[in-house]
Structure 1
């Protein structure tokens, strides 16, 4: 290729920075895209090749093939365009090296590392094959590893579909790389399919483990002939420490006949694991390692205290969930797929707000007297745990997906006519076709409604309508259609599962669990009921701090995945999504960071299997949102911005797939909330609510964003939540969130005023309404204790807070509330003990140290108090600095 040097030039929206590499067909540059502002890899076809229609077609085919594939191990394509006579493809920039470079440098790789890397490539290949795409040029130089060991499959320039038709060829050349080509590809046979890629992957494994190639030859043509005439050299000839079963696996992958090889790349990897004795679990990281590595505990998140009433010190609202999505709960479990359930306590991840203007500062007081109330900061808003799908909870993402998979499989097996007239069959077939297409849900709804105009008792059409409504968080509509389907046919398993999900999304836990139990009883061998029940139980276990119920949810999730094995991709994807949701709840319950990695892996697997389903992308977006919020809490803004950008991309993909899905807007709202763009967050939450007034997660998110404004819009937040209670009157989180919002408004009111007292009373009432709906809802019990303490009902407050701790002892906010209550009762020794326990649980919260300092002063331990204030200042508490200045520090 003639020398092509574009460094320093600007092509379209891309400023060329440096060259990354060149091959026979194109040059790859590192470039900066001006809008949006990001670094990309720009693959440019040289001008002389732009005149050759064959090269242009192959270049465009690469872009089209890769752009149609959305998988975490396939390099994303951003832009395909032409400018100044140059054709180019802009794709994700991978800061790393090719696998070929690593093999060349190290000679060979350990067996476990080889399997870990190949497992990621296999996942990408099986996904591409499921979408009808054959890569045809699998080799180490087309596998990029970033600095964390995440593998990206690149270069789909030779890819073609499995449906036949001639692939692109260039006269006088063999398409592919001889060292890795399968025998059928070397012969130019027309029936090249998935086995060709599996053969090439076998060659890659061989090379990774031995540093050699399985055939000896001096020229490319001799290499092609060798694989047609000779058996591969056994890998143990080069590496005797390889287990014999591992050699057997490799030799089968290199079988001359396609039918003798493994049927999928995943099957090849599974056989390698078994032969090497590594078990069956995944060996690669769950998701691209922008999130904290597995095993690194995420910090405990909490909010700042509200301003205290006159004569009392202000506590801060309890910890609030991070934003989970579609299967990812936040610290207060967010709802599963599509069902934005929220457990919203006061959000965490907030920095302490500044005290209200004119707030009094604390003056020195004689020992043994209570100091005047210091103004407490206004309550910062942390994200309510977003529902699983960006607004939709884990349930919609988890359950709806599980239901969807089961639904498709069940209907696929249904006889063509089944006693119905041909008109109904034709209408159903058309509706099913639309249902399975990307972005065609509105047309599918119309088509199923047409079926019902012909046959109003058609259970299949009603079940599918129920599923679509549930995926879009239209819970009451989903419930109505599911019940109608069950009335038409009580054996409609999927209708029972959708009913369970819709009821859970509305906060009707007992009814939801009964419906899930009925789904399991109707067909114990089907994964749908287990997946739905797992998510319902996991969410309730988190609310109630019930370890036994969580264990039951984990069991159900495992059963769902086990029973999904061998079924179609949709059912498997739903099962992976459900298990991801349960893993995430498990993390929230136990703070076990390993669950984060596993959860991310399950969501990515669901996307790999069924990337056209919007809720899977929303769930992964919530997953990244939550990790970004955690990074902010740790003070790592750069990492947080990267994670939040990944989340945004997933929400935008969900919107692209289903523009009417408002839950993706809710996810974007949380995304902007974490970035402290409260005005933008309100706008996104409003869009979500406009598209779906039943999306309670969007209402909760909007309330947080309104409180984040300066000054906080308390009335707007309360009105938003009140509106949500009219569409979801059974959801305890809404009433608990109203209680905390009234408390926040009260702390901002004039201390000791009648208005403040009325707000405290209103908060108490709202917490009691939450407990009427779930008497074990820890967040509401703790909130009630705070309200009682603020009203001076100290004995009742202590009883209530102790009751909350009896359910879940490791609640920093409940211990803080007890300490605050003891402080206002003058029981300073007891207060000290409670504040120290709060510090043990939430060591990053400066408010704990601030109140400990106040308590130590009352005990006459001024030097210790000073140290507590210093620590509080280090943790971001602005009031502690005032105390140090008062004490002459």
Structure 2
């Protein structure tokens, strides 16, 4: 807020000693309860604030009192004094913000930073279990309260306060330093804070304690937002070399761009921090002498382990050995191997009557008895002379057959070795006469067209004489002078000869 109320009394019993931090939703003071002379921390909202701010102050104080934990800034009392100042009494003693501690001393010792990080994670676990979300976790909202010599307890404050984008409503109006703890999914201003965005903010705080600076900064608000979304954080090894190698992966996991890749709860983050820093510390950084490995001790352990493993394998193999004479006993009720098809004895009979053969030593062919088909048991389905079932029917060839004596020559060729020219009929208007079938009577049809034209002085005949079939050619009708048709070779009735 704009007012510094240091030295004033609140509710006639709390004296404000010093301002710890100022915020848009209340100022935090170190104070003293004058009635019991005990230091307290007072969160004060001036009287001239509007009613909306006072109502939000009351709701935040009530929410903070709902979840109690040693690492949360617990609200013990709440009220409004006679002058209209709203106040909330908290349990921190002589606190300072973590941001102030880093600004004063720079990087924190690794052990202290990890311890504070575990306390922040424990506070978030309790807060999230109660169904609450911080939404504005920054180093300025973490209080360090001294309770003993060189010991500090972290107190997470500012629960439920508005973040920079919620408060301003515009990215360009927010200060770049206020955006340093914003999760990538909140940079657009459309998503609401949740438990995983609180984990990201806790990762930024732990990184800042170890490196002395936040991982992402810039001169303009948009520069910071783009780095949150696109760029990986600089490695911690660029700032210090005394960290165990298992610590940085835990912090980088909390700073993952994707919420699903981060620790899913404060308890998970706290456990990983404890496991990462609870291992063997860096001896060189701690100032302790580095122990050298004993070669002979290592060799002896390897030898003993190898011998033990070999003995175990030998024992297991020997104990499971079987004796065929005692274990593999024949089955008294067993049957010998039976063939798939019943035996016919044909194969054995063929072997008994097989004549003696002279076996050529260079021949690789198998000997088969005469008239016996190879393979199987020698069964011949054609031996009965009747086609077996499924065999095609035999169709004898048709037509006349000519037996040609190779010594006398072919009757279809001239004796002088010439070529017989067979005229091919050209008939475009009539159908050619069908050739008579061999062995049938060529009966004359009175309506059939004559195969050849008779001379002009010849008397017409009532029937057309059949032409002699010529092999390999059909008879042909020509407009040349008519010639006497050749009588058909037929044992039946012959047609009348024209011109006789």
Tell me the TM-score normalized by structure 2.
0.49
Looking at secondary structure, tell me which structure has more strand per residue: 2
Greater Rg over alpha carbons, structure: 2
Tell me the TM-score normalized by structure 1.
0.28
Q: With CA pairs under 8 Å and 6+ residues apart, which has the higher RCO, 1 or 2?
A: 1
